Each structure stands twice: as C-alpha cells, then as structure tokens.
Amino acid sequence: MAERALVLRTVGEMQALSDEWRCQGHRVGCVTTMGYLHEGHLSLVRRAGRDADRLVVTVFVNPTQFGPLEDFDRYPRDFEADRSRLEAIGVDAIFAPDVAEIYPEGFSTRVEVDGLTDRLCGASRPGHFGGVALVVTKLFNVVKPTFAVFGQKDAQQALVIRRLTKDLDFDVEILVSPSIRECDGLAKSSRNVYLTEVERRRSARLFHALQAGMSVFRRGEKRVDRVLEQVRADLSGSGEVEYAEAVDLETLRPVERIEEPTLLAVAVRFGGARLIDNLILRPPEAA
C-alpha cells in the first residue's frame, strides 16, 4: 500500500515545507512535469528518488510555454491517475497549483535564454522556451530543490535549463536522465496519445532514422551531411519532417563534421501531434 503524498496547491505552503526539509538537512529532489505521467516521467522520478531524502513532483500544465495555436486546451490531464502513480513510487509531495496561483492578475515578468532558444524546436515554437525558462525559474523558487531531474528526450529544454540555472545562480544541481521508449523505439511522450493507429506505427521511424544516422557515424562517417542524408531517407513517408539536424551538444550550433559530442535531433509532425527525438553522437576521441 503506497504512502499518501502531500498535495500542495499554494506557493507559500510548498516553500514552507521545503524550508523545513532543507533545514533538517534533507536533500530535496524535484521533477517538474505537466502531468499525464507516463513511464518517461516516472523514470525521472525514480532517478530523483535514488538521490533524494525528500521527493517533490510538480504537476502544472504551463500556459506560457504553449503558442496561441498550440494544444494547451486539449493537452491531456488526469490528476488522480498521476497522483496514484507518484504515490506508488513514494513521492513525498506533489505541487499542483492552478493557473491563477502561478500567473495571477498583473503578472508581467519574463525570463529569456538567448541563443539556445531560437534553434531546433525554438524556430517553430517562438516563445516556447521563454515559457519554460519562466516556469522553471518560478518552480525552483517555490520548491527550492537541492537538485532537479530533466529528460534527455527534451534535449534542448535540458540545455536551456542548465544555462538558466547557471546564469541566474540557482543553487540547484541539474541532472539529465535518458529517454524511455516504447517497444518499437518511439520515445514516450504525453503527446503520443494524439496519434492515430497508422501514425503510431509510422512514428517509430523517428528513432529508427536516428539509429540509422548513428550507424553511418559509427562506420566512420564524420560528415554531417552524409549522416543527415541517411536520417532524412529513413524519415521519408513517416510524417512532415520539421527538422533533422546535427548540432553542437553545448551551443546547439550546426556543425559540419562530428569532432565533438553532437546532438542528432529530429522533429516530425503527424496530423495533430508534433514528435521530437534525439541521440548523442560521441566521437571516441571526445568521449
């Protein structure tokens, strides 16, 4: 029988609880989510649980990271299911505020991370990473975690948050945990529920295309255009390819040759769903 988790709805309650824990010497681990939790989220929560004395998961569908034409309204939500899953893992507290608690009337502050946020997903989702940077800044101030775990599936988000954390001097350690996949390789995502059955079958090609690119690289090919040629060939017919790119793992700037750790990343639209995935290409000499 799982222990009940504390469910906190207000900033003040969460801050007071975290202060108490931290002053008792506890390491407070945090995973920020938009709920509708799947195995991908839960793997982050378990990862955090290994290092934390007290474990907090935030569940908040953040309106500021959705574009005006994006899926904020229809984004899937199921708090009671989330709560059961988190209690089964042994989470101590769930911070689940409503929108008015986080963005009250008169709200007017922005947090922007320049450079990293205009490429890859940022190119087609203007404002998205600003919204992420803002809500993570707020959640770090509310949860006051010792460390927080983010997923490698959202590679660009993880980089933006690392940059933000360092730039704003947050006393929070950032950990990044591997992507979790379905049996056919599709990265777990709350948005997978938008896929029709046909799209669902085709969506496995994202990971297969990335793996095909990885194989080309592993056979000794360092030229990015050759690697991407393979990726794009394998993606064709899957959906509408938004990007397939190889970029520097730190700066996200496009590279021509793979001499340093390189992020191979794709985004593909399938009707109502936009899916992303990535792999890291590590040259043996740079490992």
Instruction: Please identify every residue annotated as catalytic.
Output: 41
CA proximity to 160, closest of 120, 114, 123, 126:
114
Select the residue interacting with a copy of itself from 48, 113, 132, 176 (CB under 8 A): 113
H or E element: which one contains 121? helix 121-124
54 lines the binding site for a copy of itself (CB under 8 A): no
Minimum CB distance to a copy of itself smaller for 25 or for 284: 25
Q: What 3-state class would DSSP assign to 260?
A: coil
C-alpha distance from residue 210 to each of 21, 68, 112, 141, 237 (Å): 42, 30, 30, 37, 15
Looking only at residues 148 through 167 of this chain, which bind a copy of itself when binding is defined by CB under 8 A? 163-164, 167
CB 61 within 8 A of CB 72: yes
* Minimum CB–partner distance for residue 82 and a copy of itself (Å): 22
Compute the least distance from the CB of residue 10 to a copy of itself, in Å. 11
Q: Is 171 in the site for a copy of itself (CB under 8 A)?
A: yes
- Residue 216, amino acid: V
C-alpha–C-alpha distance, residues 216 and 270, integer Å: 26
* 188: nearest Cα among 157, 159, 153: 153
Considering the rule CB under 8 A, would residue 174 count as an interface residue with a copy of itself? Answer: no
Whichever of 120 and 235 has its CB closer to a copy of itself, that residue is 120
Distances from the Cα of 250 to the Cα of 34, 160, 181, angstroms: 26, 10, 24
Judged by beta carbon, residue 4 or residue 108, the one nearer a copy of itself is 108
Question: Which of the residues 7 through 46 are near a copy of itself (CB under 8 A)?
Answer: 11, 15, 19, 22-23
- Interacting span for a copy of itself (CB under 8 A) from 41-49, 65-73, 113-121, 201-209: 113-121
Count the site residues for a copy of itself by CB under 8 A. Answer: 29
The DSSP code for 239 is S
Structure tokens belonging to residue 173: 């350690």
Instruction: State both tokens at 18.
Output: 């975290």
Stretch that binds a copy of itself, among 109-117, 121-129, 257-265, 269-277 (CB under 8 A): 109-117
In the shown chain, the binding pattern of residues 237 to 256 toward a copy of itself, with x for contact by CB under 8 A and - for none, equals --------------------
Residue of 3, 39, 98, 112 that binds a copy of itself (CB under 8 A)? 112
Residue 73 or residue 105: which is nearer to a copy of itself going by CB?
A: 105
DSSP string covering 62-104: -GGGS-TTSSTTTS---HHHHHHHHHHHT-SEEE---HHHHS-
Please, which residue, 100 or 108, has the CB nearer to a copy of itself?
A: 108
115 binds a copy of itself (CB under 8 A): yes
Enumerate binding residues for a copy of itself (CB under 8 A): 11, 15, 19, 22-23, 106-116, 133, 137-138, 141-142, 144, 163-164, 167-171
